[in-house]
Structure 1
Amino acid sequence: MASKKYTLIAGLLSLVQVATYAQTPNDAQSYALDSSKVSVKGMPQYNEFKNNQYPYPAKPNSQWELGVGLGTSMIIGDVSPKLGYGMSVSGRKALGHVLSVRASYGWGITSGLDYRTRIASSIPAADGNPWAAYGNAPIVANYKTTAHQGSLDLIVSTNAASHYRGNPKIDLYGLVGYSINAFDVDVNARNGNALYNFASINYDRSRSDIRSDLKSLLDGSYESNAPVTNGNRDNAGRIKDNWLLRHGVNFGAGISYKISPKFNLGLEQKFTYAFSDDLDGVNAGKSKDIWSQTQVRLNFNIGNPAKHVEPLWWINPNNFIYNELNSPKHMKLPPPVLPDADGDGVTDQFDQEPNTPAGAPVDTHGVAKDTDGDGVPDYKDKELLTPQSCFPVDADGVGKCPEPPCCAELRDKLKAQPECAITSLPSVTFKSGSVTISKTAQTTLASAAQQINANPNCRVDVIGYGASDKRAQQLSWDRVSAVIKYLVEKQGISESRFNFKYGQNGDQNTVDLQGTTEVGSATVPAPHPQYKKTK
């Protein structure tokens, strides 16, 4: 059974190891320039590194890993083992990207039943021997062991650093450490008060058949302390004076897969060499017993992520180097020096006209631009877009083109067009908040109409004031509209001669009339009709 278990474990480790190198690369995140992740002790080094006074960044604060494990437990020794069960809890802290330390407590229960007979008197026991009553009769060794362990292990992670991907998804590690162990080892040597008749079993058969008969023979009481050759018992346990206290050396390996930045799931095989041959109830004098623990582990990262990075075995130490090579943010690079004698933005190496005057526009070859191709560079050309029909040009780039007949006629018409002779027109005053034209205002508009009719070449700007808010703008529009309507309907002036202007800055109770030759619109949509007034 033990060999099958280790074959399965080896196969799983091989498959996961292949997955380690076939994984999709993660984002390579660098913490070298993040001061919030650096301890107070590391700040001097951080500042020196940031100011390019020291080549190495400070080690960031990293989270602890809290782990819980469940799995199988067994003793590898002189008696054929059965798979038992066990658990563990642990706390792990990174020393660097490769090394970390882990303190843990482990517990397990395991048992074993041999398939071979032994002569009871051949079993050495300096500290009690429950098999002594059998004398020279055959016995079959068996045991039940409860183990407790406190250990401190050094863990070496082999998968953090890589030149070809970012942070790892797999932590493949080995471990070695020291432990203090307490083993409660008992044997089933009595059937009540009677001895077992082990000679009644036929041992010339398969192991499974032998064990089947032995299980039927034994009552499973494990009522006796196992024989011990080197003492160190403590007065505790299921049976008094039954704890064997032993130092131990731990070694093993494991693999973890990161599910998220907070959780990872792992498989670990751990062995404890306890310098004792008494863990399986029989001291055969050949080799020391080993406690084996195979566990599935669920690990949690604890610590404020705003001030701590993930445990360092999940961070590729090459991240900063490759990120800096790809997009420099920290390297102290000297500014490039590219000579440009004439300062036109094209370096001398590529400048085909190295003596261009300062400020002259040039093309990509450093040659002064000549937009219209008349032979005069733009910085001298007083007519940048001379038509080719006007070539050749003078020294200022001005061509010699006759004036088109249409332009001459238009110029003459413009000169012959009479200007507006109206110099001033009266203003119309309204009562506060009203749009009604008063008797006084009607007299004023009648006087203005005489001047407008006497100057048919003039147009009239009708200007209203009030820009402070929507109501004032609409009131201004209403008043301009009332004045134009009155002059059109009552004074017979063509609406096309008025330019409608409202909402200007000024006295909002006044509408001004101004003579002009500018052409505008006599109708403008009401800006805020919801506030429109008729009185």
Structure 2
Amino acid sequence: MTSKKYTLLAGISCLIASAGLAQVSPTQPYTAPHPVYGTFSVTDQNYYNKKQLAQHNEFLVGNQDYPGKPKDMWELGIKGGSFSIPLADVDPRYLQSFGFGGHIRKSLGHVMSLRLEYVYGVAKGLNWRPSTGYRAAGQKSPWYNSYQGSPVYYNYRTKAQDLSLQALFNLGNIRFYKNQTGATIYALAGVGINTFHTDVNALNGNSPYNFPSLGDDYSNRKDQIKRIKDLLDGSYESPAEVDPSKKWSKTFAGYLTPSGTVGAGIAFRLSPRVNLAIEDRLIYTGSDMLDGVRWSEQTPDLTPDKDWFNYLSLGLNFNLGNKSKRVEPLYWLNPLNYAYGELRRVPEIVLPDSDGDGVIDQFDQEQTPPGCPVDTHGVSLDTDGDGVPDCRDKELITPTYCQPVDADGVGKCPCPEGCAPAVPECATLLGALPSIRFAPNSNKLSSDATAALATVAAKLRANPGCKVVVVGYCAATKRQQQLSWDHVNKVITHLVEKEGISSDRFIFSSGQEGGDCDTVDIRAAAPGEDGPNTVAPPHPNLRKN
């Protein structure tokens, strides 16, 4: 049976392919000084034709972004397998069918290739139930008409040849994690020329078969098929009904028609020269007479449903060419090999930073003394803008009215003591401070929260005389009390450890009412307001990470 034949073919193929895959080493190291594909070196001019060599030379001197495409081998293949008509009016499962052929293939790149293929096939079919639909076909089937309306068992033998040009699209050779693939999957489509002729086993010698002798017990299909095969002589002496839509060729003793084909397959690399392929192709000719029948039992002689050939094959393919002048076919080679190889040979890039301030010389606008903090342009920080860098300023915040300053950054106020304007309150100096939002039942700071805390830290650095109150909410339950404490503690800890703000500039206030349980507010401390910068956790056993 055809289904069993497909299963056996696939099983044998997988065993052979497993042996082939074992020969491919995914960890094979590069041995050439500048490898592109396996042992092929980008500096070896033997692998380029004249046009490719010109591009290759321009690439080597930096005038071209891409290396030349190397010459690769041709593929010659032979194959054989099951050749059948599965989408037909006559059952193809009960008689043996076969096909064989060969091809020549050339890659156009790493994904697409062209293949010229010839196939010869013999397809057979046999219905195990009787049919009478031929009665409505009149003289179009003269051999079955000799049964004068009695039931017959449709059968056929179709011999076909197909020559097609196909485009194959490879899907498996671009690999990110190893140099060489062991198997590739491909799809194909193409057009060609097909010739076929179909015969039927309609007569026993010159007389009709005694089909009624087979009986009408169809309860056991296996027994019925055996009885039919025993009755038929396998001569296929009668030409099938004429297909008026196709042209008959005396040269080929069959119909000559254009064909289209689609299919898919998988190939296993056994060695650099040999691969094994399992492939399935559908071949369309536009004829409904591939199986010798174009009428059905229910609606005889209506619009025909077209038949298709199916070719399931197992093949061996050989790469032809001098390996010192041609690489393997490009559809077996990984185009990422060259890029990965070049990346491994890129020298370490060292960007000079002569003053060691963390800003490379290309972007550094100042040669900064050692130990002085700088901005993104490499310029020393000067918080109060008095012209003395923070690293040498003994009065980090000098009021503007007390400037200019001396060499140590200390200003001299021009008015008598007490006449200087009052220093604004911290609420004015710090302005509105952002709230910090936590996810429900979480004590982790989001990226937005850390950015907001960076803003708070910048304002605290600019106003070293100010304190802030960190307020957490909710205290209805022990869990709320502990989570509120965790939120406040998380904010203060982050500002101290990550932003370098002194811990004595915070007032710890958790478990307050009137706010969102998942929010921490930060506000400037009022004049004279004070409090602890840390308190013990209320319920440490409930604390969450």
TM-score surpassing 0.5? yes
Map 1:39-438; keep pairs closer than 5 Å: 39-76=49-86, 77-81=88-92, 82-119=95-132, 121-122=134-135, 124=137, 129-203=142-216, 204-236=218-250, 242-284=253-295, 285=303, 287-328=305-346
After superposition, the Cα gap between the structure-2 partners of 1:157 and 1:12, relative to the gap in structure 1 and judged at 3 Å, is farther
Q: Is the CA contact 1:138–1:198 (under 8 Å) kept in the aligned structure 2?
A: yes
Q: Is the CA contact 1:123–1:283 (under 8 Å) kept in the aligned structure 2?
A: no
Q: Is the CA contact 1:145–1:186 (under 8 Å) kept in the aligned structure 2?
A: yes
Which residue pairs with 1:452 in the alignment? none
Give the C-alpha shift of residue 262 in structure 1. Answer: 1.1
- The unaligned stretches of length 5 or more in structure 1 are 341-535
CA distance in structure 1 between the partners assigned to 2:242 and 2:12 by the alignment = 38
CA distance in structure 2 between the partners assigned to 1:49 and 1:228 by the alignment = 63
Which deviates the most, 70-79 or 225-234? 225-234
Q: Is the CA contact 1:97–1:157 (under 8 Å) kept in the aligned structure 2?
A: yes
Query: Cα deviation per residue 1:309-345 (whole Å; 9 max; x = unaligned)?
Result: 11001110000011111124xx9x98876869xxxxx
**What's the secondary structure of 1:96's corresponding residue?**
coil
After superposition, the Cα gap between the structure-2 partners of 1:270 and 1:65, relative to the gap in structure 1 and judged at 3 Å, is same
**What's the secondary structure of 2:312's corresponding residue?**
strand
Q: Is the CA contact 2:24–2:270 (under 8 Å) kept in the aligned structure 1?
A: no
Give the C-alpha shift of residue 254 in structure 1. Answer: 1.4
State the AA in 2 paired with 1:160: N
After superposition, the Cα gap between the structure-2 partners of 1:48 and 1:127, relative to the gap in structure 1 and judged at 3 Å, is farther
Q: Is the CA contact 1:69–1:297 (under 8 Å) kept in the aligned structure 2?
A: yes
Query: Cα deviation per residue 1:108-167 (whole Å; 9 max; x = unaligned)?
Result: 112111112111534648865422222322111101111111011111111110111112
CA distance in structure 2 between the partners assigned to 1:224 and 1:259 by the alignment = 46
State the AA in 2 paired with 1:269: D
CA distance in structure 2 between the partners assigned to 1:127 and 1:186 by the alignment = 14
Q: Is the CA contact 1:160–1:315 (under 8 Å) kept in the aligned structure 2?
A: yes
Q: Is the CA contact 1:66–1:90 (under 8 Å) kept in the aligned structure 2?
A: yes
Query: Cα deviation per residue 1:222-275 (whole Å; 9 max; x = unaligned)?
Result: 1111113334353548xxx95122222211111222121111122211221221
Pair member with larger Rg: 1
Query: Cα deviation per residue 1:31-66 (whole Å; 9 max; x = unaligned)?
Result: 544322111122222122111112111111110000
CA distance in structure 2 between the partners assigned to 1:14 and 1:221 by the alignment = 37
**What's the secondary structure of 1:107's corresponding residue?**
strand
CA distance in structure 2 between the partners assigned to 1:117 and 1:38 by the alignment = 65
After superposition, the Cα gap between the structure-2 partners of 1:123 and 1:71, relative to the gap in structure 1 and judged at 3 Å, is farther
Q: Is the CA contact 2:268–2:275 (under 8 Å) kept in the aligned structure 1?
A: yes
CA distance in structure 1 between the partners assigned to 2:81 and 2:107 by the alignment = 25
State the AA in 1 paired with 2:284: Y
**What's the secondary structure of 1:138's corresponding residue?**
coil
For the aligned residue pairs, the C-alpha RMSD in angstroms reads: 3.2
Query: Cα deviation per residue 1:485-530 (whole Å; 9 max; x = unaligned)?
Result: xxxxxxxxxxxxxxxxxxxxxxxxxxxxxxxxxxxxxxxxxxxxxx
Give the C-alpha shift of residue 9 in structure 1. Answer: 6.6
CA distance in structure 1 between the partners assigned to 2:64 and 2:22 by the alignment = 34
Q: Is the CA contact 1:185–1:242 (under 8 Å) kept in the aligned structure 2?
A: no
CA distance in structure 1 between the partners assigned to 2:46 and 2:284 by the alignment = 43
State the AA in 1 paired with 2:337: N
Q: Is the CA contact 1:79–1:142 (under 8 Å) kept in the aligned structure 2?
A: yes
Q: How many residues align?
A: 335
CA distance in structure 2 between the partners assigned to 1:102 and 1:313 by the alignment = 13
CA distance in structure 1 between the partners assigned to 2:179 and 2:138 by the alignment = 58
CA distance in structure 2 between the partners assigned to 1:298 and 1:84 by the alignment = 20
CA distance in structure 1 between the partners assigned to 2:318 and 2:23 by the alignment = 25
CA distance in structure 2 between the partners assigned to 1:216 and 1:101 by the alignment = 46
State the AA in 2 paired with 1:135: Q
CA distance in structure 2 between the partners assigned to 1:74 and 1:302 by the alignment = 31
After superposition, the Cα gap between the structure-2 partners of 1:272 and 1:133, relative to the gap in structure 1 and judged at 3 Å, is same
CA distance in structure 2 between the partners assigned to 1:265 and 1:14 by the alignment = 10
User: Structure 1-normalised TM-score?
Assistant: 0.57
After superposition, the Cα gap between the structure-2 partners of 1:7 and 1:316, relative to the gap in structure 1 and judged at 3 Å, is same
Equivalent pairs: percent with the same residue? 36
Query: Cα deviation per residue 1:414-464 (whole Å; 9 max; x = unaligned)?
Result: xxxxxxxxxxxxxxxxxxxxxxxxxxxxxxxxxxxxxxxxxxxxxxxxxxx
Which residue pairs with 1:526 in the alignment? none
CA distance in structure 1 between the partners assigned to 2:310 and 2:289 by the alignment = 15
CA distance in structure 2 between the partners assigned to 1:98 and 1:131 by the alignment = 51
